[in-house]
Amino acid sequence: MRKRIGKYFLISMVTSWVAANTYAVGSGFYMGVMMGPATNSGGDQQAQVDNPTALELTPATPRSNQFGARVFMGNQFSQYAAIEGGLTFISKIKYDTKGVETCTGVSERVRSFDIVGKGIMPLGPYFDIFGKVGAAATYLTTSGALDPAFDITTNPEDPITCGKNTYKNKFSPVFAIGASYNLNQNWVTDLSYTTLQVGGKVSSVSMIALAISYHFVNKYCGQFLCDD
């Protein structure tokens, strides 16, 4: 009797393990969205004071309370590798001038399009850890007050104009690490830490994000496709 009970128990355990493994996500196309708090590593800058008769500057400190979002799509070749592309939006990086009025707003804005390779290490039927590395085409907008107009007229009676907004494009490296959980064979959620090396006044932007993605793959049961 005990042997029979032990046999049934062993069969139940094996069956449960096989059923759990059907939650593994197969290869194929996927798309999703991620969002979360972001911060920058930029240092203090000099901003142009709102003064029509003289060129004056005041210290400006970047605030590190941004929010980031990224929409992405990719193709997972196997359980160990994928290639992915995404569009990232970071909320405006505002600068604190301690109440001193400047000639324009004092802020910077970061947007980027990236392509990354993704390495995946499965930790069982539900969990994976991953790393991403690649390059991003970064678009950086800087307010005119952070680009003072040093080329000014020598006539002291002429008004001093404010610096103009600048728009810069460059290629920047991007890195990410994270862990994912397979909700089922199509839906996956993950938590990640991403760093984009912007350069310039911003230096870098980092984001801790929660993501949800849908994988367009066939469900499977062992070696056979499921009917539903």
- Say whether pLDDT at 35 is over 70: yes
pTM for this structure?
0.78
- Say whether pLDDT at 44 is over 80: yes
The per-residue b/e assignment along 60-85, b for 16 or more CB within 10 angstroms, e otherwise, is bbbeeebebbbebebebeeeeebebe
* Count of Cβ atoms closer than 10 Å to residue 41 Cβ: 14
Task: Look up residue 31 and give its two tokens.
Answer: 């798309």
Mean pLDDT of 99-124: 91
**Domain assignments of the chain as residue spans, ordered by start:** 2-225
pLDDT tens string 66-107 = 999 999 999 999 889 999 999 999 999 999 998 888 888 899
Question: What is the CATH topology of the domain spanning 2-225?
Answer: Porin (2.40.160)
Task: Look up residue 3 and give its two tokens.
Answer: 């042997």
Q: What's the Cα-to-Cα distance from 174 to each of 110, 133, 196, rounded to whole Å?
A: 13, 6, 5
